[in-house]
Amino acid sequence: MPELLSAYSFTELDRLPLLRERLKVRAGELGLVGTVLVAAEGINFSLGGRGEALDAWVACLAREHGIDRLVTNRDAVESVPFLRLKVRIRPEIITFDPALRPGQAATGQALAPQDWHALLQREDVQLVDTRNHYEYEIGSFKGAVDPDIDAFTDFRDWALNHLEADRPVAMFCTGGVRCEKASAWLLANGYDQVFQLEGGILNYLREIPAQESLWQGECYVFDDRIAVDHDLKPTGRLICAACSRPAEGLGADGMPPIGVQRDCGLCGQHFDAGRLAGLRERVRQIGLARARGQSHIGPQAQPEATQRNQDCSST
C-alpha cells in the first residue's frame, strides 16, 4: 500500500535553484509524486509513493542537505492523491511575513496531542483555528474561535484585534506549519503564553481515539482527498470546480449551479461567457477521466507495471 508523507522544517537553505534541481531529480528517481516547496527559510512538502522510497527521501534530505528536523505526518493511503511531481522555489514555505523566520525566532510551545487534549480542558485558554474560513466550516475543535479569514496573512490583524495578550493562546492548523509562523508573530508582538498543536490536526486525529476526541467534523487537506474523517480516511466531500473550495449544493461533478445570468447560485460569483465555457469543459474532462477509472486532477491508481518501473532502491 502506498504512503503519504507531509512534512516541514524551518532551516536555513541557500543556492535554491541548485537545491530544487537536486531534489527534483532525487524524488523522480524514487518514483515520488506531490509538491515540494523550498525557500531560504526551509522546506515544506507532501509526497506520496512506496514506503521505502519515502524513507530514502528523508535520508537524502538529512545526509545530503542537512535537513534533519522534520515535523512529519505519515499515513498509508489507498491511492496517492497526486498525479505528478512539482518542486518550486517560494519566498516563504507558508506565506505570512517574509521578515519572520521561525528557524531563528522563538515559536510557541509545541504540545503533543495528549498534552494538547488536556490543555483544551482549561477555561482560561483562547482556542484559535488559524486556518481559512472554508476549512473551519467543515470541521474544527469544539469551542475553537474562527477568525473568518480567507488568507493566512489576514491572521495578523485579526489577532491584534481579538486576542487578549494576558491570556494563554492555543492555536492549531492542519499539519503545524502555519502555527510556527503565527506563534512566532504573536510572541514578537507581546503575547507570552502561546501554545501550538505539534503536527497539527492530522497528528491529533492519529493519536487521540475518536471516542475521546474534541475534534468535530472533517479535516480539509490540500490534495485530492479533499477532506478526511477521524480515521484519516477520505470522506468523499466535493469541491467546487470553479473555486476549488468545499461547498454544499454542488452537482456530482463539482459543477456549481449557474443561473441564466451566469451567476453562481452558491456564492454569487459572475462568469463571463468564455470563463463559463472553460469551466464546463474542465468538468467534462474530469468526467471523462473518471469514466476511464482515472482522476483528472488528483489520485490515480497506477497499474502494477508502472509502479515497478518507478521503483528505485535507496543509495
The answer to whether residues 157 and 208 belong to one domain is yes
Residues 13 and 82 in one domain: yes
Residues above pLDDT 70, as percent of the chain = 93
- What is the per-residue pLDDT across 185-208, written as a single tens digit (0 to 9) for each? 999 999 999 999 999 999 999 999
DSSP assignment of 38-101, as one string?
Answer: EETTEEEEEEEE-HHHHHHHHHHHHHHH-----EEEEEE-SS-S-SSEEEEE-S-SSSS-TT--
- Could you tell me where the beta strands, DSSP code E, fall in 175-214? 194-197
On whether residue 62 sits in a domain, the answer given is yes
Is 253 among the domain residues? yes
Asked if 267 and 274 touch (Cβ cutoff 8 Å), the reply is no
Nearest one of 196, 200, 186, 197 to 157, comparing CA atoms:
186
**Rounded to whole angstroms, what are the CA distances from 146 to 125, 243, 293?**
15, 21, 38
Same domain for 122 and 208, yes or no, is yes
Indicate if 202 and 267 belong to the same structural domain: no
Q: Same domain, yes or no, for 17 and 85?
A: yes
Let me know if residue 226 belongs to a domain. Answer: no
- Confirm whether 173 is a catalytic residue: yes
From 89, 120, 144, the end of a domain falls on 89
**Mean pLDDT of the chain, nearest integer:** 90
Strand pairing of 194-197 and 215-217?
unpaired
Residues 23-60 have pLDDT tens digits of 999 999 999 999 999 999 999 999 999 999 999 999 99
Domain encompassing residue 44: 3-89
Q: How many other β-carbons are positioned within 10 Å of the β-carbon of residue 250? A: 18
Domain presence at residue 302: no
Q: Is 222 a domain residue? A: no
Catalytic residue among 173, 179, 219, 264: 173
Check residue 237 and give left, alpha or beta (phi > 0: left; psi -120 to 50: alpha): beta
Q: For residue 16, give the CATH number of its domain.
A: 3.30.70.100
Say yes or no: 120 and 192 in one domain: yes
Answer yes or no: is 289 within a domain.
yes
DSSP, collapsed to helix, strand or coil, labels residue 166 as: coil
Domain count, the chain: 3
